[in-house]
């Protein structure tokens, strides 16, 4: 069964018809409902319920106000002052909450992991994280697609040209947009499609087929029985170091022994940031003197990880893409040092990409793939952008799988990438 079939049902399957009630059964249901309404009305149950509520409402305070005043007077000013401060504090909180829009309050509660009652919410499932993360992309693409279909009454050349432009501006990439449009032209002629709406499902189907490619996704992290070495590359500011910190937390929570290596020695801020993440998630960080040789820091990290029987070693490196020759030489040297300690390592070389940069992320992936062999991609900041379509472009134009995805700002907002969850989150509601 293909990816589209698993996501949305069989391609050749027509929309399921809504079951129609048999005539005699429908009449019976209507009669039963009418009888119940009439019976409740006759017995005056609605009015009775309201009356009971009124009877149960207390009409007098449990404690007399005079008694409270006397108690405060006897106790002195301290209690009175405390009560006044408490009242003012609570009153201020109520005022502040009243001025916050409902959506913002709900969002704040979700971010804090608590509900309105202050109780801890159930952790988000991975499916829910995909839905939340891809909301901007899904709604943006859906709105564009709906507007596009509303503007056309017939399938002609203008239809296909504007569709191609829409796909390009949705960051699915020029190659994907051109390929899909050409296939749709062929299908429209084959099926003699006259109305644009008949091609809606076919467009989504083609997008899924383009992503499915040969059916091999290679998304799993290559964990080893002993030490697993993961080398991270990427330009500054894409969320590389933050992703490493979150992964350290994720793997430690899974019971793994984790260690970090700060090999971006030419940028002091990068080392400090990784050290702070190590402190935050309580995992050791191997560092070296400022401006020291990155390969020497990696050597120390490898030796220590093997000696201490670490399960997962995460190595942060520099991302100076503007100086490709120096970066290539540096990464090659790091690779040789790693292999000297562990011949089959690194087991993953992962490029961090900022999804919010759209097609620029695709350009970075192409450039880095020329500098060093990449086993996978880490897609960051996807929750804050409508440019999730870049994943389709990456899949079509590069033979590099997305292996990790960032879901947001929280410490556990990172996870393994799953094609089906991603495509469902991206396209659900459009078919």
Is 383 annotated as a binding-site member?
yes
| Cα distance between residue 110 and residue 105, in whole Å | 9
CATH topology of domain 133-212: 1.20.120
| Cα distance between residue 260 and residue 258, in whole Å | 7
CATH assignment, 228-418:
3.40.50.300
The answer to whether residue 44 scores a pLDDT higher than 70 is no
> How does DSSP assign 312-361, residue by residue?
EEEEE----TTSHHHHHHHHHHHHHHHHHHSTT--SEEEEEEEGGGTHHH
Beta pairing partners, 228: 312
Q: Which pLDDT does position 414 carry in this prediction?
A: 92
Q: In terms of pLDDT, which residue wins out, 404 or 124? A: 404
Highest-confidence range of 78-87, 300-309, 421-430, by mean pLDDT? 300-309
Q: Which pLDDT does position 189 carry in this prediction?
A: 86
Give the relative orientation of helices 419-427 and 126-133 as an angle to the nearest 10 degrees: 40
Is 318 annotated as a binding-site member?
yes
Taking only the tens place, the pLDDT of each residue in 376-396 is: 999 998 777 667 778 888 888
Q: Which pLDDT does position 101 carry in this prediction?
A: 41
Question: Considering only CA atoms, which of 223, 254, 253, 240 is closest in space to residue 377?
Answer: 240
Is 245 annotated as a binding-site member?
no
pLDDT band of residue 16 (cuts 50, 70, 90) is very low
pLDDT average, residue stretch 72-91: 42
Looking at the whole model, is its pTM more than 0.75? no
Each domain of the chain, given as residue ranges in start order, spans 21-50, 133-212, 228-418
Q: Which pLDDT does position 14 carry in this prediction?
A: 41
pLDDT average, residue stretch 231-250: 94
- Scanning the structure block, which residue is given the tokens 């120390």? 300
The answer to whether residue 29 scores a pLDDT higher than 60 is no
What share of the chain in percent tops pLDDT 70?
71
Is 239 annotated as a binding-site member?
yes
Is 184 annotated as a binding-site member?
no
Is 144 annotated as a binding-site member?
no
Is 240 annotated as a binding-site member?
yes
Average pLDDT, the chain: 76
pLDDT average, residue stretch 10-15: 50
pLDDT average, residue stretch 312-334: 89
Of 56-70, 110-124, 373-387, least confident by mean pLDDT is 56-70
Is 357 annotated as a binding-site member?
no
| DSSP annotation of 290 | T
What share of the chain in percent tops pLDDT 90?
30
Is 333 annotated as a binding-site member?
no
The answer to whether residue 339 scores a pLDDT higher than 60 is yes
pLDDT average, residue stretch 140-145: 78
Taking only the tens place, the pLDDT of each residue in 257-313 is: 999 999 998 887 899 999 999 999 999 999 998 889 999 999 999 999 999 999 999
Tokens of 380: 């960051």
Is 241 annotated as a binding-site member?
yes
**Positive or negative, the Cα torsion across 362, 364, 367, 372?**
negative
Is 234 annotated as a binding-site member?
yes
Q: Which pLDDT does position 198 carry in this prediction?
A: 78
The answer to whether residue 85 scores a pLDDT higher than 50 is no
The answer to whether residue 110 scores a pLDDT higher than 80 is no
Is 57 annotated as a binding-site member?
no
Q: In terms of pLDDT, which residue wins out, 193 or 333? A: 333
pLDDT band of residue 96 (cuts 50, 70, 90) is very low
pLDDT band of residue 350 (cuts 50, 70, 90) is very high
Q: Which pLDDT does position 340 carry in this prediction?
A: 96
Is 316 annotated as a binding-site member?
yes
| Cα distance between residue 78 and residue 66, in whole Å | 18
């Amino acid at each position: 069964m293909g990816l589209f079939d698993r996501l949305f049902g069989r391609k050749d399957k027509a929309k399921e018809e809504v079951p129609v009630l048999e005539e005699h059964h429908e009449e019976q249901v209507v009669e039963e409902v009418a009888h119940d309404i009439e019976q409740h009305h006759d017995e005056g149950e609605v009015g009775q319920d309201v009356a009971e509520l009124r009877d149960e409402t207390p009409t007098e305070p449990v404690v007399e106000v005079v008694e409270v005043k006397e108690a405060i007077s006897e106790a002195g000013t301290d209690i009175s002052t405390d009560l006044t401060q408490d009242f003012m504090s609570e009153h201020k909180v109520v005022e502040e909450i009243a001025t916050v829009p409902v959506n913002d309050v709900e969002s704040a509660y979700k971010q804090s992991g608590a509900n309105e009652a202050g109780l801890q919410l159930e952790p988000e499932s991975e499916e829910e994280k995909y839905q939340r993360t891809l909301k901007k992309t899904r709604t943006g693409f859906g709105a564009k697609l709906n507007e596009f279909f509303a503007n056309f009454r017939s399938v002609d050349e203008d239809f296909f040209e504007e569709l191609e432009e829409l796909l390009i501006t949705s960051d699915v990439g020029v190659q994907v947009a051109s390929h899909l449009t050409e296939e749709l032209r062929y299908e429209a002629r084959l099926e003699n499609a006259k109305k644009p709406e008949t091609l809606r499902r076919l467009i989504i189907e083609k997008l899924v087929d383009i992503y499915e490619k040969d059916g091999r996704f290679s998304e799993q992290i290559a964990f080893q029985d002993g030490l697993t070495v993961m080398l991270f590359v990427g330009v500054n500011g894409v969320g590389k170091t933050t992703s490493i910190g979150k992964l350290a937390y994720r793997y430690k929570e899974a019971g793994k022994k984790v260690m970090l290596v700060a090999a971006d020695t030419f940028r002091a801020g990068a080392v400090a940031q990784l050290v702070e993440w190590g402190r935050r998630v309580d995992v050791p960080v191997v560092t070296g003197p400022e401006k020291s040789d990155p390969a020497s820091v990696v050597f120390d990290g490898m030796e220590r990880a093997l000696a201490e029987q670490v399960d997962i070693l995460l190595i942060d490196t520099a991302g100076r893409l503007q100086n490709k020759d120096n970066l290539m030489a540096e990464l090659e040297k790091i690779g040789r040092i790693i292999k000297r300690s562990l011949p089959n390592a690194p087991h993953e070389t992962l490029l961090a990409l900022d999804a919010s940069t759209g097609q620029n992320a695709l350009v970075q992936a192409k450039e880095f793939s020329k500098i060093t062999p990449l086993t996978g991609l880490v897609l960051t900041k996807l929750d804050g952008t409508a440019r999730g379509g870049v994943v389709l472009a990456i899949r079509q134009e590069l033979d590099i799988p997305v292996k990790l995805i960032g879901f947001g700002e929280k410490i556990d907002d990172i996870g393994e990438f799953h094609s089906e969850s991603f495509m469902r989150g991206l396209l659900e509601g459009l078919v």
